[in-house]
Amino acid sequence: MPESAAAGEQPVLSSGPRQPFGSRLAAAMAARGPLCVGIDPHPGLLADWGLNDDVAGLERFSLTVVEAVATLAAAVKPQVALYERHGSAGMAVLERTLAAASDAGVLSIADAKRGDIGSTMAAYADAWLRDGSALAADSVTLSPYLGFESLRPALDLAAESGRGVFVLALTSNPEGKSVQHVGGSESVARRIAEAAAEENRRYSGTLGSGGSGSAGLGSVGLVVGATIGGALVELGLDLDAVHGPILAPGLGAQGATPADLRATFGTAYPAVLATSSRGILAAGPTIAGLRSATEATRDGLLKA
Ligand X SMILES: O=c1ccn([C@@H]2O[C@H](COP(=O)(O)O)[C@@H](O)[C@H]2O)c(=O)[nH]1
- Chain residues in the site for ligand X (CB under 6 A): 38, 40, 79, 111, 171-172, 223, 225, 249, 252-254, 275-279
Q: Which positions ≥6 away from 241 have C-beta within 8 Å?
A: 193, 194, 197
Catalytic one among 77, 113, 177, 303?
113
Pick the closer one to ligand X by CB: 50 or 174: 174
CA neighbor of 99 nearest in space, from 68, 71, 138: 138
Distance CA 76, CA 276 (A): 10
Alpha carbon separation from 150 to 101, 121, 122, 181, 240 (Å, rounded): 29, 7, 10, 20, 24
Pick the closer one to ligand X by CB: 162 or 249: 249
Pick the closer one to ligand X by CB: 111 or 199: 111
CA neighbor of 292 nearest in space, from 46, 302, 123, 282: 282
Looking at residue 179, the DSSP 8-state letter turns out to be: H
Distance CA 69, CA 187 (A): 37
Find the shortest distance in angstroms from Cβ 303 to ligand X.
Answer: 20
Catalytic annotation present for 177:
no
Pick the closer one to ligand X by CB: 125 or 226: 226
Task: Note if the bond before 285 is cis, omega within 30 degrees.
Answer: yes
Pick the closer one to ligand X by CB: 111 or 138: 111
Find the shortest distance in angstroms from Cβ 288 to ligand X.
Answer: 21
Phi, psi of 236 (to 5 degrees): 70, 35
CA neighbor of 80 nearest in space, from 67, 71, 92: 92
DSSP of 62-107, one letter per residue? HHHHHHHHTTT-SEEEEBTHHHHTTHHHHHHHHHHHHHHHHHHT-E
| Residues labelled catalytic | 113
